Amino acid sequence: MKRFLNKLFVFTIILVFFIISTGSFKYYTLVIGVIVSAITTYLFESSIVKKTLRLYDVLKLLYLFKYIVYFVKAEIHAHLELVEIILFNKPIKPAIVAVPYHVESDYGVTLIALTVTNTPGTIVLNIDTNSKLMYIHWINASTFNPDEARLIITSGFEKLVEKIFG
C-alpha cells in the first residue's frame, strides 16, 4: 500500500476526534467511527499531507514539545507587557514592520503566522510570498529594521518550525 504511514496518521487523528466528540466507547460507535474515518481518509489524505511520511518523523514530536514550551514562555512575557500597557499606562510606540522569513513549506508559514498573531502585541497584517516578507503590526516597536525585528519576534519560532516541517 502506497503511503501507508500517511493514511495511518490521518486515520488515527480522525478516529480520536470522533471518539472524543461522541463521548462513548461502545462497540456500535466504534464500528461507525472506523467506517467514517476510513472513508474520510481515503478521500482527503492526499490533499492534507503532501510529502510521504517515514517512521523517522516520530522524532519531530520532540521538537513540537519544545515549541510548545517556547510558546508558553513567549505568551507569559507578552501578557505581562500588555497588562502593563493597559493598566499602568506604559507609553506605546505602534508601528508596522516588515519581517523576512525563510521557511519553505505552507504549514510552516501558517504555523509561524498563527503563533505571532496569538502572541499579544503582534499581529500579522499581510504576507508577501514573492519577497518572503511578513508585515507585522507591533504595539511597542523597539526597532524598525527588518533583520533586528526578526531577531526579536520570529527567529526563535522559526528555528523550531524548520525542524518540524522542513
Partner 1 sequence: MSELNLVFYGIGLGLIAIGSFFEVVGAIGVLKLPSFFLRLHALTVSCIGGSILPLLGVAILAIGLEEMGSQRLFITAICLISVFIILILAPSGSHSLARAAYNSNTAPKQPLEYDALSRGVNKD
- Judged by beta carbon, residue 4 or residue 68, the one nearer partner 1 is 68
* Helix 27-48 × helix 4-22 angle, to 10°: 130
The footprint of partner 1 (CB under 8 A) covers 17, 20-21, 23, 75, 79, 82-83, 85-87, 92-98, 113-114, 117-121, 123-126, 128, 135, 137, 139, 141, 144, 146
Question: Nearest approach, Cβ of 2 to partner 1 (angstroms)?
Answer: 29
CA distances from 46 to 2, 11, 15 (A): 11, 12, 18
Question: Nearest approach, Cβ of 146 to partner 1 (angstroms)?
Answer: 8
- Judged by beta carbon, residue 52 or residue 126, the one nearer partner 1 is 126
Q: What is the dihedral of CA 135, 139, 144, 146, to 10 degrees?
A: -40
Question: Nearest approach, Cβ of 106 to partner 1 (angstroms)?
Answer: 14
Give dist(CA 124, CA 163) in Å, integer: 22
Question: Nearest approach, Cβ of 83 to partner 1 (angstroms)?
Answer: 6
Question: Nearest approach, Cβ of 121 to partner 1 (angstroms)?
Answer: 6
Is beta strand 122-128 parallel, antiparallel or unpaired with respect to 95-100? Answer: unpaired
Give dist(CA 64, CA 70) in Å, integer: 10
- Judged by beta carbon, residue 46 or residue 145, the one nearer partner 1 is 145
73, containing H or E segment: helix 60-88
- Judged by beta carbon, residue 3 or residue 156, the one nearer partner 1 is 156
Give dist(CA 33, CA 37) in Å, integer: 6
- Judged by beta carbon, residue 41 or residue 115, the one nearer partner 1 is 115
